[in-house]
Structure formats: C-alpha cells, structure tokens
Chains A and B, each alone.
Chain A
Amino acid sequence: MNVTIVDYKSGNISSVINSFKEVAKEKVNIEVTSDPNKIKSSDKVVLPGQGSFKSCVEALNNIDGLLETLNEFTMINKKPLLGICVGLQMFADIGYEETETKGLGWISGKVSKIDNQSGKFKLPHIGWNQINIIKDSEIFKDIENNSHMYFVHSYEFVPNDKKVISATTDYSTKVVCSVEKENIFGTQFHPEKSDKFGLKIIDNFISL
C-alpha cells in the first residue's frame, strides 16, 4: 500500500513524515511528494497544513495540476484522505485568515478565528487538550474518549452540517477538532505530535 503525504512547500512537514514512517514501518510505503501522478496512484493521501489558510491554499494552487488531482482523488475516486490542522481547515468553502480566501469546498462551512471572549483566552490555542468523541469514527478505534491531543491554532473550522463533526474540544467555546465525511477525515489537532494516542490515530488511518 502507498500512502502519500502531500508536500506542497508550505510549512514544516518533517514531524508528519517522521510519525507516519514510525507507524508504517515496513508494511506501508510512505511517499512524500507533490507530483500529481504519484498522488493519483496512491491508496491514501495525507494533507498537512501549516501557516495561514490563505498561504496554504495559494501554495496548493501554485503546483500545476495538484488541486485537480486532489479533487479527483477525494471527490470522484472517493479514496481516503486525512487533513491535519490547516489541511483540515482547507476542506471548507471559505476561510477568513488574513483575507477572505476560497477553500477546497469538500465539506461545506467556513474557517474563522476562535472567539477568545475579549482576551479572556490566549490565542493561539497551544497545548494539550482533551477530545470529546461524538461520533464513531474508524480513526478513533481504540482511542478512549477524553484522550489528550496536541493543538496549535487560532482559527477553527465551522461546518454547516454538524453531522460531519466527529470530535470537539473545550476551549473558549466547543471547538470542532475532528471531522469525517465518507472518505474524508480531518483533525485540527496534530496526531504526529500527540504521543502514543496520536500515533494510534495515524495507525488507524493507515489501516483503513
């Protein structure tokens, strides 16, 4: 099996690569590329994302044929894709970081700044927080409810259809921290930095 981590030259993906290689060992081939042809032939795709919504969308657009390939992989061929952090946020129709930017539109909704209740809560939301699992999800297999995951973000994905939400976390509000819609999975937290439970989520995704 081939799992491709999309390297679209936005932010630092070494931790994602290290964690997937750690979990995959010899059983799964982990490819790191932005080559649309390699993505087309892979079984699963991981879409990381660091920096702003705007810079990530722009970086995806900058690579010839990448957006079309990801669309086809996810929306037509319905193969499993995992978005991490801004990778998940980009599923939305629109994002408001820096300026209004169109997203991938895979899961209807918007990405807006976390309400810090007039400075009562620090932003970014950095650190370990518990996840409330509200929907059975294959990627949460053997993950206990209220497990701790590592977060670093100031913006949150607000999907229109609440049924896609698989977990939330309590900060200034109930923040959506995991979504699942058919073959599309996403985590706002960083499984690659969430120690053994995070690695288990990665293992669950690889084993889908």
Chain B
Amino acid sequence: MLKNRIIPCLDVKNGRVVKGINFVDLKDAGDPVEQAKIYSDGGADEICFLDITASNENRDTIYEVVKKTSKKCFVPLTVGGGVRTIDDINKLLNSGADKVSINTAAVENSKVVIDSSKKFGSQCIVVAIDAKKNGEKWEVFTHGGRNNSGIDALKYAKQMEDSGAGELLVTSMDKDGTKSGYDIELMKKITSNVNIPVIASGGVGTLDHLVEGINSGASAVLAASIFHYGTYSINEAKEYLASKDIPVRI
C-alpha cells in the first residue's frame, strides 16, 4: 500500500538555514546539508528546500547546497523558491534535486510548466500554489505571498494538472505560521478536484493537524516549525499517524 509522506521543509537563505533545528549536537545549526541529513536519517520521506534568497547575486548558493545534500541524503529532494525558467530547473536537477517546485513563474506563464514537464518529465515538476480565502473562493498569490493574482485557486489547480504538473504543493496563506492547522476546506476542495497527488502545507502546530491534513485527501503533509524547533521528531509524527490508522513508512 502506498504510504502517506511526511516532508520537513527547510527555509534556506544565502545558502544558510533560517529557523533551523536547535539540536545541541549540531556542529553548525545553519548548515542545510547537516540538517537535511538529520531529517533523512530520522525517517523523513522527502526533504524540501525553499530558497528565500532575495538578492540575485546570491542565488547560486542554492546549487551548492543541493549538490552537497544530494551526495549525503538518499531520499527525494524537492527544491523551490525563485524558480523562473527552464534553465533554472535544469540547473537544480543537474545539481541533484529530484523535483523542482515552481510558484510565481507558473502563474505568470503556464508554458513553463508545459515545457518543463515535457522536457524533464512530470515526475519532477511540482507546482506550488499559495492560496488565500476571499469570500467564497480562494485566490492564488505570487511573489512569496505579496501579490494577489486574483486567479481562482481551484481552477488553477486543475489547469496546472492539465499542463503537466506531477504534484501540487498547496499552502494556505491564511493558516501559514498560525499553528492552527491546515486549511482543511481548501485541501478537500483541491484534492477532490485533481487526480495528481497534493501536498498540504501551512499551519501545522500539532500532530493532529498532520492527521487532519491526510484525512482531507492530501498524499503528503509538509511542515516546518514543529520539526525545526524539536517539538516533535519525524518518527514521533509517524508513530502518531500510524496510531490513527494512517499508513506511513516506519
């Protein structure tokens, strides 16, 4: 039986982890390679790097990080943040990323999803959707949540599936950072509307939130702070999901 995945996400800025795990035995708490290795040894089903480097001249730092991580971690590695062109995707894949997530560029021009999934295969193209509720619908935001595109998130999700995305990474902007749980209504609507796997993101504060995320139809749950700050280990999260009859890899 296919297992539900738990994916810890690391924010990387100028090649360094922001909000990293505070473990005493860590030699360098800001080293993304070391942190990713801790997660993969701890049973993470996949590792996600989100590059939040703002300046263009420092953007190449992510390639070095990916290169080093992929030599040490033998679980899938997804990298997103600032991915604009086919060339960006190519460089990340060549550095050792297994999947690349595309956000703003996919909203601005869906051709990048169509072309990249044809060129590299759908299996490595993840479309990241940042959605915020507005009345009865959800709208897609771009540029790290700063700009409202006004596009309907449910329609957009379907359009991205048709364009060749292999997976959707759906983040609720209303919930992100609140620790009050995923936006279950949004996840349910999107997962029932597409036939590709959906990764739920934004809002996890407790292990029950992970359970709710999976029960909303998501194939995988992504979380950052509950793992970074050592509130729970990956293994604790998995044991808890298993105790709620959710199939996980233990």
Contact = CB atoms under 8 A, between A and B. Distances in A.
A18 B71 contact: yes
A154 B71 CA distance: 27
B167 interface: yes
A12 interface: yes
A202 to B, nearest CB: 9
Nearest to A196: B74
Interface string B101-141: 00000000000000000011111100000000000000000
B70 A124 contact: no
Contacts of A199: 74
A155 B233 CA distance: 35
Interface in B162-217: 166-167, 195-197
> Which residue of A12, A18, A123, A130 has the most chain B CB atoms within 10 A of its CB atom?
A12
Contacts of A196: 74
Nearest to B95: A14
A148 interface: yes
> Which residue of B40, B70, B119 has the most chain A CB atoms within 10 A of its CB atom?
B70
A195 B70 CA distance: 12
A198 B124 CA distance: 19
B197 A14 contact: no
B24 interface: no
A170 B120 contact: no
B5 A127 contact: yes
Contact of B166 (A19, A119, A130, A152): A152
A65 interface: no
A150 B76 contact: yes
Main DSSP-derived SS at the A contact region: mixed
A170 B1 contact: yes
Contacts of A102: none
B11 interface: no
A124 B97 CA distance: 18
> Which residue of A14, A18, A148, A154 has the most chain B CB atoms within 10 A of its CB atom?
A14
Contact of A153 (B71, B98, B119, B123): B123
B4 to A, nearest CB: 8
A124 B165 CA distance: 10
Interface residues of A, number: 38
A128 interface: yes
Nearest to B67: A14
A50 B3 contact: no
Nearest to B196: A122
B166 A124 contact: yes
A199 B75 CA distance: 11
Given A12-B98, A14-B95, A126 B70 contact: no
Contacts of A40: none
A127 B123 contact: no
Interface in A1-26: 11-12, 14-15, 18-19, 21-22
B234 interface: no
B93 A124 contact: no
B120 A12 contact: yes
A194 B120 CA distance: 21
B159 interface: no
B219 interface: yes
Interface string A180-195: 0000000000001111
Contacts of B167: 124, 126
Given A12-B94, A148-B3, A119 B45 contact: no
A171 B197 CA distance: 14
Interface of A: 11-12, 14-15, 18-19, 21-22, 50-52, 55, 116, 119, 122-130, 148, 150-154, 170-171, 192-196, 198-199
16 contacts: A12-B94, A14-B94, A14-B96, A19-B74, A51-B120, A51-B121, A123-B196, A126-B197, A126-B219, A127-B45, A127-B219, A128-B5, A170-B1, A194-B75, A196-B74, A198-B74
